[in-house]
Amino acid sequence: ETGVTQTPRHLVMGMTNKKSLKCEQHLGHNAMYWYKQSAKKPLELMFVYSLEERVENNSVPSRFSPECPNSSHLFLHLHTLQPEDSALYLCASSQRTGDNEQFFGPGTRLTVL
């Protein structure tokens, strides 16, 4: 595997379910990010991790819970989501925290019923 990978690519869940999104970067980068991409809206930064430490939580509801066990892996734990949370969730990484060149994974298309 190369670059940034994300699993699953598609996820359908009910509002009472608990699920997790996984991201892995194979680039040796030190920073990882979660973004939300909704139709007709700009990319929204959700969380930033630098060397496994969360450095930014962009006013994201607590039903989204990130976890970064090491510098290569990033998870987004989901519980009691709402239909408006349906979106494409993108993971990205960069060499240093705050770098403008970020490398994105293909995303997880999430549908909340």
Partner 1 sequence: QKEVEQDPGPLSVPEGAIVSLNCTYSNSAFQYFMWYRQYSRKGPELLMYTYSSGNKEDGRFTAQVDKSSKYISLFIRDSQPSDSATYLCAIAPNAGGTSYGKLTFGQGTILTVHP
Residues near partner 1 (CB under 8 A): 4, 31, 33, 40-43, 45, 48, 50, 55-56, 90, 92, 94, 96-107
Place of tokens 């705050």: 98
* Terminal-to-terminal C-alpha distance of the chain: 32
Name the minimum Å distance from CB 55 to partner 1.
5
Instruction: State the Cα–Cα distance between residues 69 and 15, nearest whole angstrom.
Output: 26
Measure Cα distances from 94 to 48, 58, 61, 75, 102 in Å: 11, 18, 25, 16, 5
Nearer to partner 1, 17 or 60 (CB): 60
CB of 16 to partner 1, least distance (A): 29
Nearer to partner 1, 74 or 94 (CB): 94
Nearer to partner 1, 16 or 28 (CB): 28
